[in-house]
Structure 1
């Protein structure tokens, strides 16, 4: 097995399913040692085993970690370095959402989304950045944001606020760590078919037809497409840092709003 990430090691948080699992799989396919992560060791292990079975020769390590706990995140980085000797790529993908009117949003729900979706990205970036600075040969950090980081969506106040924070955190870390050769970028997906989107559709918040009508490409994106975008950002053979790559099928570019019936 050979690829663009031969000899490199990557952590992907929230990689037991969805976009994170797809990114972890493609990194392994391109030669990286991959650390899978979940708050549940069993889920992280299942993902690691599936990747190892899918990708011939893949080296994986499952790690249980709560991204809202900086000590837990630091321990994950330490376990990675102990197993593989270094850390080259950090993908901060773990995320969640809670849907509801802003005037009714409970303080604990607000804090939970901010803790996972924003603080978790900072703690992951911080722990990875420290390790990459110590290694003194650069690295790449990819923060999974959302197109909602640059626009408003009703009943998503904590999610939109967190993702907007991720976008500007990404720019700030890119500027701060450029001198260390660390690329820091964000991937901002649109509507992708994952467990979270299925969950919100089940709540009757929106329908598949509404999303397809609102998206110029006329469909949901796939986790494989998001993985391809993430791997571009994770590679360092480019002059890109501090960018937010929006992969939404044209959603944010579409001024009219719907091309469907």
Structure 2
């Protein structure tokens, strides 16, 4: 345990599994009281809470659909009622759909945009207003993706949503800088989680395909993403409106496939 975020409260959306779970656990390790947001799996959320508490941290689970304004508003109100304030918001909840752009069902498009972009805006708006009311600053970290800064086949809704998250982040950073609210984004590359395994199966690529196209020749880890968020959530960096690319060099690499790593 450290005291980096001692006496601070954080909400992490989509925190019952994967990267969200890792971020919540890391913030708790640094002393924050953490709200584990989940949409449907209360069992997984409670398991994360129990793990944090077993390590001496403080956490509660709160159900909310991030695409529903009333749900998010109620979650922030419950957080403030329980802990007294909201200092950090991590907009992590997201989803994707895989398929050719010409065949994307409009209902699938809307659901991805609702969760991955509108949900981020709702979270920022509600949390940002709460932080402004508290008049003590705050930090918002939006989980974007390297796919928000590049074209990627079979991911039209997801790429569009994450590109929106990136420019939304920059806009809010400019608007809220005077309130001492930092707004930054993390853009992960391929991170090894059970969700990644599911999307790989759907898209038909292998672990070796990813390693071969990543200059660091491996997947990123949940722990690494949690460390990145911990940096972006600090209040002593003079950083706002930035997109931290954590993709092992993928988007910087013009050569692309490193066959044989030559």
TM-score, normalising length from structure 2?
Answer: 0.97
CA distance in 2, matches of 1:124, 1:45: 22
1:104-156 C-alpha deviation (Å, 9 max, x unpaired): 10000000000000011001111110110000010000000000000010010
CA distance in 2, matches of 1:218, 1:46: 32
Matching residue of 1:38: 38
Q: Which runs of 5+ in 1 are unaligned?
A: none
CA distance in 2, matches of 1:260, 1:18: 30
CA distance in 2, matches of 1:150, 1:136: 33
Q: Is residue 21 of structure 1 aligned with residue 18 of structure 2?
A: no
Matching residue of 2:195: 196
Contact 1:88–1:139 (CA under 8 A) maintained in structure 2:
yes
Q: Is residue 50 of structure 1 aligned with residue 28 of structure 2?
A: no
1:61-87 C-alpha deviation (Å, 9 max, x unpaired): 110010000110010000000000000
1:235-260 C-alpha deviation (Å, 9 max, x unpaired): 01011000000000000011100112
CA distance in 2, matches of 1:241, 1:201: 33
How has the CA–CA distance of structure 1 residues 204 and 132 changed in structure 2, closer, same or farther, with 3 Å as cutoff? closer
CA distance in 1, matches of 2:111, 2:223: 28
Q: Residue 99 of structure 2: SS of its match in structure 1?
A: coil
CA distance in 2, matches of 1:76, 1:33: 14
TM-score, normalising length from structure 1?
Answer: 0.97
Matching residue of 1:214: 213
Measured after TM superposition, the shift of residue 204 of structure 1 is: 4.4
Measured after TM superposition, the shift of residue 48 of structure 1 is: 1.1
CA distance in 2, matches of 1:7, 1:25: 16
Matching residue of 1:131: 130
CA distance in 1, matches of 2:114, 2:150: 20
Q: Which runs of 5+ in 2 are unaligned?
A: none
Q: Residue 153 of structure 1: SS of its match in structure 2?
A: coil
Matching residue of 1:109: 108
Mapping 1:130-149, distance limit 5 Å: 130-149=129-148
Contact 1:38–1:65 (CA under 8 A) maintained in structure 2:
yes
Aligned residue pair count = 259
